[in-house]
């Protein structure tokens, strides 16, 4: 069954055609939920733009549209207001009928795609040999949310974690480890080092690389040995990568992020393809030389002085850059994985880089018009001083430490609110609330903007926060526990008619009907904050419904069962929506 907006849209398209002929048949009726339910449930705003196009009074245009509109079985009232707004009040039976369909659908009305696509989502991308820090959280959780939403739509989603595991930094780290092994052979086996050790060694290696010319020469030669497949070098490289993977997996599990080792596709995976990338660009006539390097000049990109901006694909010493690897990765994803859409989730500072990569992919023909390429940029997490978020000592905030603090703060709040909880249950709730609060605080902000990190705000049980939404779910589930305690049979409510006699009932019903459309909006816009705002509005509507419409003490069984059914659908929608954000719910708080 088409969702409510699709039904309204379809009827308006026919009304436009009936009023003004085929010339306006493709006009968007501009259907949107009404801003104030006092005036209607939905609103059509097409008359203003169409009036300008037809050079007619918009209100007269609106009157003609309404005169040709089929109202049977869908609209209770249609009226023209102001300069030409068309306010629509739906039939309660139509709303109830669609809700009945949603409540019996495991996908809550989210339609399967007419054409199932393979969609690659490239996200997270932490640094090998370093602990994940706060700067990695945005790419990780925004990308995970996008992947979940697209999978919910029914697409084949390929998650890709594009790790930097190749190049000069590994030459210097491996050379430093070999020096350390020769100097302290009995202190510790290299294979026993953990991620914290490797990060210390990385800093030491970088210091030596910058200050010791002889070490820098050896480090560069070690890169050549790595690329040539030297056995000892590869063994150490593999040890570094494996230990990093273990650390990443631990963080992803704590964060409830759907990334695993099978999703890792590091730079090294494309090493053998880089020569072909450069040769392909040369064959297409796109390569030029600039200061000894081989570059691509994509139209429309200029430096601050207005000169054409090069994208370097091969350095003067023969080495390759991120752009070369990104071109190789994109070609592999399109040719080998069959990707019809590729989504890259990185910070906004890489926007120009990906714009140039996308332009080059189009120019050389590796990404045809059938392939959609999206860069999903995001802003910076700021401290209360409006500067990049740091520790009190001014250092980088490690992600594990942040997750620990989130759970500890949540546990203190939960213990204060419900001190009688058993320890195991308190820990589980604190994990869901703490990690959920951290993720939601990020996802609920417009991703392109910077936001200020604030523990008190994100852990609050009121306002647009994860605890508020989680608590709304708990409140609904408590109704069903009480029903069980009162021996009320809730097993048959799915067959009970939905009755929308009061404004709060109608408001929660209309909010529930918007969920499928919201999933489609997020899948297209790649803006998780839209889903967050929807869930907050849903929880707010349910709280108003809960306060105004007694459920278990309703006047009669039919009303009670209808409200139970509305409550069950609200709980399912909240749980499903939070799951798309990667946030867990509990049955109690």
The length of the chain in residues reads 589
- Structure tokens of 122? 């490239």
The β-bridge relationship of strands 118-122 and 156-160 is parallel
CA torsion, ordered 497, 503, 504, 510, to nearest 10 deg: 70
Confidence (pLDDT) at 156: 97
Q: What are the Cα distances from residue 316, in Å, to 72, 292, 295, 312?
A: 72, 5, 10, 10
Domain positions in the chain are 4-90, 168-260
Sequence-ordered list of residues with C-beta below 8 angstroms from that of 255, at least 6 positions apart, any chain: 137, 140, 141, 144, 403, 435, 439, 582
The rounded distance, in Å, linking the Cα atoms of 181 and 176 is: 9
Confidence (pLDDT) at 185: 47
The rounded distance, in Å, linking the Cα atoms of 84 and 11 is: 18
For residue range 154-181, what is the model confidence (pLDDT) as tens digits? 999 999 999 888 778 888 889 998 887 7
Q: Within the chain, which residues score under 50 in pLDDT? A: 1, 184-187
Q: 376: which strand partners?
A: 345
Confidence (pLDDT) at 187: 41
- Structure tokens of 448? 């392109």
Helices 213-228 and 231-255: crossing angle, nearest 10°? Answer: 90
Confidence (pLDDT) at 225: 86
CATH of 4-90, one of 3.30.1360.70, 1.10.10.60, 3.40.50.920, 1.10.10.10: 3.30.1360.70
Q: What is the DSSP string of 239-267?
A: HHHHHHHHHHHHHHHHHT----GGGB--G
Phi–psi pair at 393, nearest 5 degrees: -85, 0
Confidence (pLDDT) at 128: 85
Phi–psi pair at 412, nearest 5 degrees: -65, -40
Confidence (pLDDT) at 186: 43
């Amino acid at each position: 069954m088409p969702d409510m907006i699709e039904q309204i849209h379809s009827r308006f398209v026919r009304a436009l055609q009936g009023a003004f002929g085929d010339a306006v048949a493709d006009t968007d009726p501009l259907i949107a939920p009404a801003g104030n339910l006092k005036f209607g449930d939905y609103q059509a705003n097409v008359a203003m733009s169409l009036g300008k196009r037809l050079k007619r009074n918009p209100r007269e245009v609106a009157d003609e549209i309404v005169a040709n509109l089929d109202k049977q079985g869908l609209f209770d009232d249609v009226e023209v207001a102001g300069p030409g707004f068309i306010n629509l009040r739906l039939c309660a039976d139509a709303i109830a009928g669609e809700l009945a369909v949603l409540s019996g659908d495991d996908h809550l009305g989210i339609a399967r795609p007419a054409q199932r696509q393979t969609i690659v989502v490239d996200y997270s991308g932490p640094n090998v040999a370093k602990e994940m820090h706060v700067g990695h959280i945005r790419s990780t959780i925004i990308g995970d949310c996008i992947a979940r939403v697209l999978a919910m739509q029914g697409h084949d989603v390929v998650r890709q974690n594009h790790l930097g595991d190749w190049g000069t930094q590994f030459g210097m780290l491996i050379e430093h480890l070999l020096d350390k092994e020769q100097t302290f052979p009995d202190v510790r086996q290299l294979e026993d080092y953990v991620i914290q050790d490797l990060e210390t060694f990385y800093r030491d290696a970088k210091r030596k690389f910058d200050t010791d010319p002889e070490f820098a020469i050896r480090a560069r030669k070690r890169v050549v040995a790595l690329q040539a497949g030297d056995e000892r070098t590869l063994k150490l490289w593999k040890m570094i990568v494996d230990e990093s993977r273990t650390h990443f997996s631990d963080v992803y599990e704590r964060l409830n992020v759907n990334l695993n080792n099978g999703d890792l596709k590091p730079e090294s995976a494309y090493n053998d393809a880089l020569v072909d990338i450069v040769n392909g660009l040369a064959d297409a006539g796109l390569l030029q030389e600039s200061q000894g390097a081989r570059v691509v000049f994509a139209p429309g990109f200029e430096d601050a002085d207005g000169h054409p901006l090069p994208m370097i694909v091969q350095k003067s010493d023969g080495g390759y850059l991120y752009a070369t690897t990104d071109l190789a990765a994109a070609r592999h994803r399109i040719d080998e994985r069959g990707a019809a859409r590729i989504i890259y989730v990185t910070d906004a500072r890489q926007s120009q880089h990906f714009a140039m990569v996308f332009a080059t992919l189009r120019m050389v023909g590796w990404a045809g018009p059938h392939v959609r390429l999206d860069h999903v940029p995001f802003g910076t997490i700021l401290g209360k001083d409006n500067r990049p978020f740091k520790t009190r000592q001014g250092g980088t905030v490690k992600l594990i430490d942040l997750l620990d603090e989130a759970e500890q703060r949540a546990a203190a709040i939960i213990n204060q609110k419900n001190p009688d909880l058993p320890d195991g249950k308190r820990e589980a709730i604190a994990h869901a609330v703490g990690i959920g609060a951290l993720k939601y605080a990020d996802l609920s902000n417009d991703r392109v903007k910077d936001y200020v990190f604030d523990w008190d705000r994100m852990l609050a049980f009121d306002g647009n926060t994860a605890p508020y939404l989680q608590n709304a779910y708990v409140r609904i589930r408590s109704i069903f526990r009480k029903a069980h305690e009162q021996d009320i049979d809730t097993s048959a409510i799915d067959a009970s008619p939905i009755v929308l006699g009061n404004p709060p009932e109608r408001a929660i019903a209309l909010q529930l009907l918007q969920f499928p459309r919201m999933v489609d909006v997020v899948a297209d816009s790649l803006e998780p904050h839209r889903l967050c705002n929807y869930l907050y509005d849903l929880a707010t509507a349910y709280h108003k419904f809960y306060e105004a419409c007694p459920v278990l003490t309703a006047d009669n069984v039919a009303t009670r069962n209808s409200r139970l059914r509305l409550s069950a659908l609200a709980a399912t929608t909240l749980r499903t929506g939070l799951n798309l954000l990667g946030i867990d719910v509990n049955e109690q708080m």
